[in-house]
């Protein structure tokens, strides 16, 4: 099982060092931390597995505000998230840019967590399957690719997909692409055992609850001892 903590725009280098000095993930789970760009160096120095939250598809160039695979690899970063719903919704990310980012990062030797997931309106209109098929269709089959199913209505809202909803979406994604699938969206120590206990759930992508070392460790513990 893989449990990744997406810190979004939280924790500078000092808080990153403090967290990682206290963090002792249990055996039997791969724990990954995804800090903001400015804290990547401090995070890598801990010796833990560190992913970035995004990566560009060109090796270098006039792309203000972006980061390249070369820079991440030089820093010792091992992977990147691409296509997070906040990137799609707030920063104009499309299926095409997600494809470019994922393909280039994988070619460059980074691991990739590619995020997919439907909006609330899409679920209510019965379009979840179509949305997931479309978002997954641009992703390459690759041994270093992991997909994260993050229903947008469950992100940062305290609402979680039911274990049945997660299982159904994960099974669909796995039928399209033979990759591990993480669940993301209000994962907490209380709901982690049930979600991670679903057969098609291969781990978690955790936002808010990954900012606290105790709650993130508890989620890692749930992944190490699936119910």
Active-site residue identified among 86, 93, 150, 170: 150
Any contact of residue 185 with ligand 13P (CB under 6 A)? yes
How many residues are given for the chain?
227
> Which residues have CB under 8 Å from 190's CB, separation 6+?
none
The residue from 40, 139, 195, 205 that contacts ligand 13P (CB under 6 A) is 205
Any contact of residue 113 with ligand 13P (CB under 6 A)? no
Let me know if 84 is a catalytic residue. yes
Any contact of residue 82 with ligand 13P (CB under 6 A)? no
Residue 149, both tokens: 């199913």
The residue from 187, 195, 201, 219 that contacts ligand 13P (CB under 6 A) is 187
> Which residues have CB under 8 Å from 144's CB, separation 6+?
79, 106, 109, 110, 111, 112
The residue from 1, 2, 3, 6 that contacts ligand 13P (CB under 6 A) is 6
Any contact of residue 114 with ligand 13P (CB under 6 A)? no
Element (H, E) at 152: none
Let me know if 56 is a catalytic residue. no
Interface stretch with ligand 13P, choices 25-33, 40-48, 138-146, 181-189 (CB under 6 A): 181-189
User: What single DSSP character describes residue 9?
Assistant: T
CB atoms within 10 A of CB 216: 25
User: What single DSSP character describes residue 89?
Assistant: H
Residues in the site for ligand 13P, rule: CB under 6 A?
6, 84, 150, 155-156, 184-187, 205-209
């Amino acid at each position: 099982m893989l449990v990744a903590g997406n810190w979004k725009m939280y924790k500078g280098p000092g808080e990153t060092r403090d967290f990682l000095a206290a963090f002792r993930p249990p055996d039997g789970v791969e724990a990954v931390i995804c800090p903001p760009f400015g804290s990547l160096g401090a995070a890598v120095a801990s010796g833990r597995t560190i992913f970035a939250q995004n990566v560009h598809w060109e090796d270098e160039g006039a792309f203000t505000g972006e980061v390249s695979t070369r820079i991440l690899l030089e820093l010792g970063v091992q992977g990147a998230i691409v296509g997070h719903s906040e990137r799609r919704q707030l920063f104009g990310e499309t299926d095409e840019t997600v494809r470019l980012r994922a393909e280039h990062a994988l070619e460059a030797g980074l691991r990739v967590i590619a995020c997919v997931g439907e909006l609330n309106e899409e679920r209510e209109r019965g379009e979840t399957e179509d949305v997931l098929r479309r978002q997954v269709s641009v992703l390459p089959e690759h041994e270093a690719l992991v997909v994260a199913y993050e229903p947008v209505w469950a992100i940062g809202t305290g609402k979680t997909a039911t274990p049945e909803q997660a299982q159904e979406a994960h099974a669909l994604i796995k039928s399209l692409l033979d990759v591990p699938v993480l669940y993301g969206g209000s994962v907490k120590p209380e709901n982690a055992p049930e979600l991670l206990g679903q057969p098609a759930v291969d781990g978690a992508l955790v936002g808010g609850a990954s900012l606290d070392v105790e709650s993130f460790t508890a989620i890692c513990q749930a992944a190490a001892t699936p119910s």
